[in-house]
Structure 1
């Protein structure tokens, strides 16, 4: 039986970022105390960048012990561009906190750029293989973070795109993205839905309609892909008041 999602509404985007960052540190610490190497999946976007910066800040001052050398880091999607492109989600995360807190580079699993894969399809195949190798070893994602677009897309799974119906691949190439850049790699629904805990991170009134549709009963995932993802153990929607304004 699917567990109903939990909705947390914060006054501002900054308050949301602080709450998510603190919760992430706590989850990582708890997982390591239980003897596990936690696996997290990062996302991109404006609110994600604010959260990443806050993680970096709290990691220095919070009274929570996290061994960042024992954290596995993945991405839900990535732009297939040059490795030093400002469009790279991974580059943003590295600059905001990964490098500063000392995550082991061998545990940072970036999606391939144009330097590592000859085309976007090859990049998707390579990442699917990496994810599959960890899954075969019994590893699971502890926390998977997702932004939501005004059109209801998550990762790079867009309304009306064929990738929404892919069930036999772990990662897929995306071409002709309605949001630039046009070529991307994205995890698929079967992988996104395998995380213990799924966190939606949404800020701003322009996304309020997508939030309301995603949380409504009977929403078609082909129209609002965010409705198609939930955690095995829990699903949390972290919203600011503007994003929650139509609930």
Structure 2
């Protein structure tokens, strides 16, 4: 796979969130100028939630035709609806409940009280992906996919040392033994992640320096799943100064 990978460094978490928000608004407007619709995959975590809040607070977001965007998630905690652990709840509070979107295009994973069986919940989301896909495909064309990266290098709920990172047949998997609580999760698989046109990994904090450095150095995906995150057109690591501590100078883009 050939992809344009770059690292953009910002002074701190707040400036990082603001810069990613501004870039998202600009890019999604461009995408909607060229296409009838757009598909965006959201991520949980404090930094990505801060990005969504910054989008909400930007006056420029009023220029986005939100009703033409379908929202998906890269993973979800398999807990009851309304739990503060759920990524979709965090995204709604930060952005989705405050913009004029089409609710039919908000594709949240099932909660544990909606579909109690986690395998059925995974199959349900896989079916939802396929229903929105072009003929003959198993999932939509994702224009932008947001990902967070854990201190252990995990992306979505694909963790080092677990079999999920090497799954190639299924599009959605149940995760039964997440090393990070809660233990039950649902996740897109790596082939689906890598189908996105643009992958934006947003990272802040010194605990992200090692996984970022290893991912860029070509570590194995089994050890550092983030190393496998490559978009079809572009892969951008948006990071703060602390997270960039182990990034070689030649990989840092002066501007974007």
TM bucket normalised to smaller: over 0.9
Q: Secondary structure at the match of 2:221?
A: coil
Q: Deviations over 1:18-62 (max 9, x none)?
A: 11111111121111111321110000001011111101111xx12
1:107 to 94, 105, 110: 105
Question: What corresponds to 2:146 in structure 1?
Answer: 145
Unaligned runs of 5+ in 1: none
Shift of 1:64: 6.4
Q: Residue in 2 aligned with 1:208?
A: 209
| Inter-partner Cα distance in structure 2 for 1:204 and 1:93 | 21
Deviations 1:146-188 (A, max 9, x none): 0000000000000010111111100000011110111000000
* TM-score normalized by the length of structure 1: 0.96
Please say if residues 26 and 64 of structure 1, whose CA atoms lie closer than 8 Å, have aligned partners that are also in contact. no
Question: Who is 2:12 aligned against?
Answer: 12
Residue 156 of structure 1 corresponds to 157
Match of 1:198 in 2: 199
Which shows bigger deviation, 115-124 or 223-232? 115-124
SS at match of 2:63: coil
Match of 1:184 in 2: 185
**Contact 1:25 / 1:64 at 8 angstroms: preserved in 2?**
no
Stretch deviating more after TM superposition (88-97 or 138-147): 138-147
1:136 pairs with 2:134? yes
Matches within 5 A, 1:1-247: 1-58=1-58, 61-62=59-60, 65-137=63-135, 139-217=140-218, 219-247=219-247
Cα distance in 2, alignment partners of residues 4 and 213 from structure 1: 18
Tell me the distance in 1 between the aligned counterparts of 2:72 and 2:114: 16
| Structure 1 residue runs of 4 or more that deviate by more than 4 Å after TM superposition | none
Instruction: Specify the SS of the correspondent of 1:136.
Output: coil
Q: Secondary structure at the match of 2:132?
A: helix
Query: Cα offset for 1:117?
Result: 1.1
Tell me whether 176-185 or 1-10 shows the greater mean CA deviation: 1-10
Superposition CA RMSD, Å: 1.3
For the 8 Å contact 1:69–1:103, the answer to whether it is kept is yes
